[in-house]
Amino acid sequence: MNQIDVVGIDLDGKSELTDTATRIIEQATILSGAKRHLSYFSKHPAVKIPLNNLQQDIELLIEKATTDKIVILASGDPLFFGLGRLLLSKIPLKKLQFYPHLSSIQLAFSKLKIPWQDSALISVHGRDCDELIKHLKQGTNKIAVLTDSFNNPIAIAKLYDSLELTVAYSFHICENLTLENGEITSFSPQEITALAKLPQDRFAALNVLVLIRENLTQNNLNLANLPLFGISDSAFLSFSDRPNLITKKEVRSVILAELALQSQQTVWDLGAGTGSVSIEIARLCPTAKIYAIEKTAMGISLIKQNCQRFAVKNIQPISAKAPESLAELPTPDRIFIGGSGGNLISILNTCQSKIAPQGIIVITLATIEHFAEVLQWAKQNNWHYHLLQVQISRSIPIANLTRFSPLNPITIIKLVN
């Protein structure tokens, strides 16, 4: 079997090929590749074998390689979300040689003049969007996406809108970059909803989508348009390195119901994080006094920023670690525990000694071990308990269809003394 050469080419065909790649192609007796790639070499004397059925056509090329000099043409870098992986699974490693061209993602970042060594590189070409969703929720700073006709920039904009992210991205759609009609169209975070409403064929089929995380702090809220409760996750400022670390809107709504809030109550929010639960309580009960206890400096800063953002005045952020900081606080009528820092039982013991008669404690738990600890504590201390397991899935668009994307399951325990 002769060596099979795999040569990467770009949208401009053979004009920017290296001398080595040009010589390899000139020596070929069989040229294979997509019809578009073969069209660039219409005058080449080699036999042309278009790759229509990859599995069958590659088998044919392997047979022909016993006598012919075969060159396979592929887009950009064949080993970057390209044909290379399939060829390596079919052809012995020693019988393959690759000659890469610039990848479309390299060209996109070059045109945008943005360094890309720290970017996430994702293909949704013939694939699902789960990897993209993961990076969006994690707040990855730079994301480059190879699209297709279904998972196109319009469809991805709709997906982005549906996720209710706590971080914001600008969209840069890079089309036909090496052709005369190549262009880059950019959309700010505020323009993504408008992008999602454009016709599906608005952009060329050959495009790369680059997502750049932007600073959300300058986005002003229209407080008049906010619901009374159940505020979108995207409205809150969150941790820059863990933007998904926020009590989700649907879970907050259940927490509010379990707390059975009344006016003029004192509420403790322990492990307040971004302050999302405190803010929901403060808006729902403007005469209540909420103490948001958070041990991290970043968390306290976010609570203060979010209080200002939502124009709430009845929250007092306290930078401290529970349970040591709880002794001097006013007697609470309601306590929400969203984080314990490994001190859950000690915190519950302190809460038990401080809470008002007929008080209510609501706890959210992510692990079975912590659930077992709280249940045992409640039984030993004669607290009535009510358990909820909250498993919520949100609808997200998938091309022209819709599917459910699950949130992490949460156990909610309501304790009544």
Tens-place pLDDT, residues 83-112: 999 999 999 999 999 999 988 899 999 999
| pLDDT at residue 266, rounded to an integer | 98
Instruction: State the angle between helix axes of 297-310 and 276-284 in degrees (0 to 180), rounded to the nearest 10.
Output: 30
Banded pLDDT at 48 (limits 50, 70, 90): very high
Averaged over 265-287, what is the pLDDT? 97
Residue 81 has pLDDT above 60, yes or no: yes
- Does residue 164 contact residue 234 with C-beta atoms inside 8 Å? yes
CA atoms in the 13 A half-sphere facing the CB of 168: 18
**Is the model's pLDDT at 289 over the cut of 60?**
yes
Q: How far is CA 139 from CA 158, 250, 277, 299, 315, in A?
A: 17, 21, 21, 17, 28
Helix H or strand E encompassing 96: strand 96-99
Q: Distance (Å, rounded) from C-alpha 273 to C-alpha 255?
A: 15
Task: Give the distance between the most distant pair of CA atoms in the chain.
Answer: 92
* Separation between Cα atoms, residue 278 and residue 267, nearest integer Å: 9
- Per the rule left: phi > 0, alpha: psi between -120 and 50, beta: everything else, 311 is left
pLDDT at 217: 56
Tens digits of residue pLDDT in 189-221: 999 999 999 998 899 988 999 999 997 655 578
* Distance from C-alpha of 192 to C-alpha of 162, rounded to nearest angstrom: 11
**How far is CA 190 from each of CA 39, 60, 140, 157, 170, rounded to the nearest angstrom?**
41, 51, 19, 12, 8
Condensed to tens digits (0 to 9), the pLDDT of residues 152-188 reads 999 999 999 999 898 999 999 999 887 777 899 999 9
Q: Enumerate residues 6+ apart whose C-beta is below 8 A from 149.
A: 205
Looking at the predicted structure, is the pLDDT value of residue 372 above 70? yes
Higher pLDDT, 269 or 81: 269
For residues 25 and 44, what is the distance between their CA atoms, to the nearest angstrom?
9
Please tell me the predicted confidence (pLDDT) of residue 258.
98
Q: Using the CB atoms, write b or e for 193-228: b if 16+ within 10 Å.
A: eebbeeeeeebbebbbbbbbbbebeeeeeeeeeeee
Q: How high is the pLDDT of residue 179? A: 74
Domains of the chain from N-terminus onward: 4-102 (3.40.1010.10), 105-214 (3.30.950.10), 223-416 (3.40.50.150)
Distance CA 12, CA 322 (A): 64
As a whole number of angstroms, the distance between CA 80 and CA 123 comes to 10
Identify the CA nearest to 261 among candidates 275, 244, 241, 282. 282
Burial (0-12, 13-18, 19+ Cβ within 10 Å), 70: buried
Structure tokens at 260: 């059975």
